[in-house]
Amino acid sequence: MGNLLNGKVAIVTGSGQGIGRAVAIALANEGAKVVTNNRAPVKVNTANQLDEERLKRLTPEQLAWYHEEIEKYTGDAETTAAAIRAAGGEATAYFCDISKYDEAKKLVEKAAEIYGSVDIVINVAGSFGFAPVEKISEELWDSVTGVKPKGYFNVITHAVPYMKKKGWGRIINCSSPAWTGGSIRQCEYCAANAGVVGMTWGLASELYDDGITCNVFAPAAKTRASVDMELFDKVVDEDMHSTKTGEPAVKYDETAPPEPFAPFLAYLSSDKAAHVTGSVFMTMGGFIGRWANPTMEAMMMDPEGWTMEKILEKAPETLFKDYKNVTQQGM
């Protein structure tokens, strides 16, 4: 084990399995004391988007594959904490729904009660669903955006006072490549993840003078959600397909697990990355990339104000010169 995070206390939401589990273990491997979290103990391991009715639509071969793969993603906050302790680290599980303000407050208070403070918050918890915009229910919208960014805010707002008191803190929020849009029909998920980026950018400027850095990682990794993505379009009508083509955005067998990039989150949590804030990283297998911050690409200006005649004359040669919309940029 390393010592990059010795003496630090970390909360990792959504760390029962998948990406959050890998991140929690990576922090513990560098000496952090970790509070793991997910909503509740796992009683029955299932995919989120494949209910019993949809599972009945699978072929026997597809159903056998589903049962084989889904069993690879068992676990909850306690099993992650137990794995950390078994490896010689310190970890405590705390089950709660971070989309609820008071429950998130209790999570932070429990971490401070057990370990003395809160130094690092890595929010990985998430929810998603597939549907074209006209079929997204209010319940689906609220369940997805209730975790991101609202649940992330709920944890951060209670953790920041502990960080300010020490003049040191690390906040890392999980977004998704979907924050930039894309081919998947889930605009509620795109909105949630873009909200995470916007919130983190705001916090990076607000908190930097307090010794607190705030960054985003947008992972692509093989998790339980990957099972959903592989099978979802096979069990729904064509007008409900997750993508416009009906093919998975990323094929299951071509997706890497999260463990290869998890140490990067430990690095961002350390003193070595004290100068890194307000950045958005893509992490996928051994690949780590950093997005450029948005810049003004084109402009037009008229001190006297705009008339329709002026817009018709000037816009094509200024704002829209060499313009490509998102469908023409391959997004």
Rounded Cα gap, residues 265 and 5, in angstroms: 11
Q: Positive or negative CA dihedral for 215, 218, 221, 226?
A: positive
Rounded Cα gap, residues 223 and 257, in angstroms: 7
Q: Is there a contact between 212 and 164 (Cβ–Cβ < 8 Å)?
A: yes
Residues 82, 198: one domain?
yes
Q: By mean pLDDT, which of 50-54, 94-98, 318-322 is the weakest?
A: 50-54
For residue 137, tell me if it sits in a domain.
Answer: yes
For residue 286, tell me if it sits in a domain.
Answer: yes
Residues 260, 327: one domain?
no
CATH number for the domain spanning 156: value is: 3.40.50.720
Q: Is there a contact between 205 and 278 (Cβ–Cβ < 8 Å)?
A: yes
Residues 278, 209: one domain?
yes
Q: How many domains does the chain have?
A: 2
Residues 221-235: tens digit of each pLDDT: 988 788 877 777 776
Containing structural domain, residue 304: 296-331
Residues 207, 304: one domain?
no
Residues 177, 150: one domain?
yes
Residues 18, 112: one domain?
yes
Residues 197, 323: one domain?
no
For residue 251, tell me if it sits in a domain.
Answer: no
Tokens of 302: 């008229």
For residue 49, tell me if it sits in a domain.
Answer: no
Residues 307, 181: one domain?
no
Strand partners, 243: 184
Residues 261, 321: one domain?
no
Angle CA 228–251–241, to nearest 5:
50
For residue 233, tell me if it sits in a domain.
Answer: no
Residues 33, 88: one domain?
yes
- For the chain, the residue count is 331
For residue 149, tell me if it sits in a domain.
Answer: yes
Residues 22, 141: one domain?
yes
Residues 107, 155: one domain?
yes
Specify the pLDDT at position 331: 46
For residue 321, tell me if it sits in a domain.
Answer: yes
Residues 91-150: tens digit of each pLDDT: 999 999 999 999 999 999 999 999 999 999 999 999 988 788 999 999 999 999 999 999
For residue 230, tell me if it sits in a domain.
Answer: no
Flag whether the pTM goes above 0.85.
yes
